[in-house]
Structure 1
Amino acid sequence: MVAITDDIFAPQLAILQDLFSDNVSAEQAAEYLASISLEDESDLEGGITSLWTLIFKCAYQYPEHHDKLVNVLVQLSKLPDAKTSNGEPILLYDMQVWKDLPMFGWQFRDEWNASVPAGPPDARQKAISRIINRDKFTARLMATKEPVFAYSWFALITLRDALETPVDQSSAGNLEALIPAAAAWISILGADIYQWNEGFDGALGKGGPLWKGQHGFCKERWQFWKERFGELATIEVETGDEVRTTARDTGRMMEEIEKSRSTRQISVTLIHRIDYLYKNKFTGDGCVWES
């Protein structure tokens, strides 16, 4: 695996380090990164792929800068359409550079192949950290509501793997990664996920061994996930107290999201009722009540 300090990343990494240090704005960083990535017209795909690889490496190594990485990606997607030196639009696999952030979604698919090795301990912990930061970063991208970051399927995969597989079919290492990763989706995007009613064709949205319901997102699946977080908070496996506490707190957070949504819906209904009464029961300048 190529290190983040490898010379291949040096020009782009320098820009990102300036971004992290607040020496450049996200808009400026996006312009600089775009220019560097398209310098070699004979290998435009390679330049852009290198940028995506570096951004993921930074997301893993510098989670405290996720917001800045998200912002620079948003700014990249808003840059004018890139063109070659002879004025031709740059398309990669029918995706426009930069609006469509071509191949960025493909990078996500590669990242979701990650797993936790049995050992040694330092490699195991590094893999756990990568998976958790991967999901935090992805959830924050989706929280921007930008159409280019349509990654709900990745949320489903993590929630399914964490919550829909019997404990005896998952290793402690995978649970140590997947429970906090699933919790990150609820923490960052839970109110949205609660409202999602999105299906997926074929096997894309199918459940794990414990879920036989609708493929995709639905209220019933949300309820099942909430119950599973509660169950996982009490399991006797070598996940550590912190993971069990995360599971318990996430289940409670889901309860609060439901209550908040119900309260909001009651408030909206009440406002509509007041509007109706005002329009239909009051007349004249003096607001006379009609009997």
Structure 2
Amino acid sequence: MDISPGITECEEHNILSSYLADPDKTDATLERLTTCATSSLSKGELETQLRRLWNSFLYLSSQQPHSSKQQDSLVKLLQVLTTNSSTLKDTNGRGVEVDGSKVWRGLPLFGQQARECWNFPSDKEVDTKTRDVWINVNAFVARLTAAAINEHGGERQGYSPLDYSLYGIWSLRSALEEKRENLPGKTTVDASVGAVAVWIVYAGPTLRGLSESNKTYSGKVAKPGSKFKDQEWRGYTKDRWQSWKEELAQAKSLVQDDGIQNLVQQALEIIKQ
């Protein structure tokens, strides 16, 4: 994973930290973010500034317990940015775009920054801090996806920049479709299975809806793991959802941490509905 703690020294992190301390001040936070972006735009540094901002979102979400109100607040702020915030304008009054998306509504570069931190080191034993960071950031992205997609698998108007359902497949595939005996230690197992659990707890109906509507992705980005290599899965399917249900029930017995055990039990109750 690559969410640098050095991000805590930047202005964007300070703005978001102030917002989490008083989440009712959404308008004031949007004003501060826009002022920061406008200043960066005038210096030709907008892309760098946006990357710092999105990294601050990801870092802060990774440091908050997955069930916390702070995670809710960060999700709500991104929702406001995609739907209610004014488009950033240049000195000629034209709307500003970065990488083909409007600032703020398209959340340009957010996906790139999320992808950069989506590299869990499953080939080595991790410490409990890395385990918790991985579970927390999965919960945050699952919450975003649930905000973007309804329980029938359709995108909510205006929330498409928050759809990270593909990341859900990556986490579920890693933990449930590969041979778990190849994982190096108990904390890595807890992290991998815990990440699955938060996807189900915070976006279970969403993922079920995608499975029922056979949501697919281009190429092989959503291909099955090695245990299911004979399947033709390229996204969410009813069969894949059923396999996850069965695999998660088996994986529970491998989890060592009591808190993650309880989290997996919550997920099992949801996935069986």
Q: TM-score range by the shorter chain?
A: 0.7 to 0.9
State the one-letter code of the partner of 1:31: E
Which residue does the alignment assign to 1:20? 20
Which residue does the alignment assign to 1:35? 35
Whether 1:95 and 2:108 are equivalent positions in the alignment is no
Which residue does the alignment assign to 2:155? none
CA distance in 1, matches of 2:17, 2:217: 39
State the one-letter code of the partner of 2:249: G
Which residue does the alignment assign to 1:76? 81
1:94 deviates by 1.3
Change (3 A) 1:247 1:222: same
1:175-214 paired onto structure 2 within 5 Å: 175-196=189-210, 197-211=214-228, 212-213=230-231, 214=233
Please give the per-residue CA displacement for 1:250-281, whole angstroms capped at 9, x wherever unaligned: 223311x2xxxxxxxxxxxxxxxxxxxxxxxx
State the one-letter code of the partner of 2:49: G
CA distance in 1, matches of 2:120, 2:28: 33
Structure 2 segments unaligned to the other structure (5+ residues) = 149-158
Instruction: Provide the secondary structure at the position in 1 that maps to 2:39.
Output: coil
State the one-letter code of the partner of 1:253: I
State the one-letter code of the partner of 1:85: T
Change (3 A) 1:165 1:97: same
Which residue does the alignment assign to 1:150? 163
1:200 deviates by 1.9
Please give the per-residue CA displacement for 1:208-267, whole angstroms capped at 9, x wherever unaligned: 1112322211111111111111111234xx744554454444223311x2xxxxxxxxxx
Tell whether the 8 Å contact from 2:145 to 2:164 is kept in structure 1 after alignment: yes
CA distance in 2, matches of 1:151, 1:23: 24
Q: 1:127 aligns with which of 102, 125, 130?
A: 130
> What's the C-alpha RMSD, in Å, of the aligned pairs?
2.1
CA distance in 2, matches of 1:201, 1:160: 17
Please give the per-residue CA displacement for 1:105-136, whole angstroms capped at 9, x wherever unaligned: 111111111326846xxx72221111101110
* Matched residue count: 248
Q: 1:167 aligns with which of 171, 175, 180?
A: 180
Instruction: Provide the secondary structure at the position in 2 that maps to 1:171.
Output: coil
Tell whether the 8 Å contact from 1:176 to 1:239 is kept in structure 2 after alignment: yes
1:4-15 paired onto structure 2 within 5 Å: 4-6=7-9, 9=10, 11-15=11-15
Instruction: Provide the secondary structure at the position in 1 that maps to 2:253.
Output: coil
Q: Which has the higher contact order (CA 8 A, sep 6+)?
A: 2
1:207 deviates by 0.6
CA distance in 1, matches of 2:243, 2:122: 25
Which residue does the alignment assign to 1:61? 63
1:225-240 paired onto structure 2 within 5 Å: 225-235=244-254, 239-240=256-257
CA distance in 2, matches of 1:168, 1:252: 25
Identity of aligned residues (%): 26
1:50 deviates by 1.1
CA distance in 1, matches of 2:110, 2:52: 11
Change (3 A) 1:117 1:252: same
Tell whether the 8 Å contact from 2:7 to 2:55 is kept in structure 1 after alignment: no
Q: Quick check: 78-87 or 218-227, which moved more? A: 78-87
Please give the per-residue CA displacement for 1:123-182, whole angstroms capped at 9, x wherever unaligned: 722211111011100011112222211211000000100101112222233321111111
Question: TM-score, normalising length from structure 2?
Answer: 0.83
State the one-letter code of the partner of 1:14: N
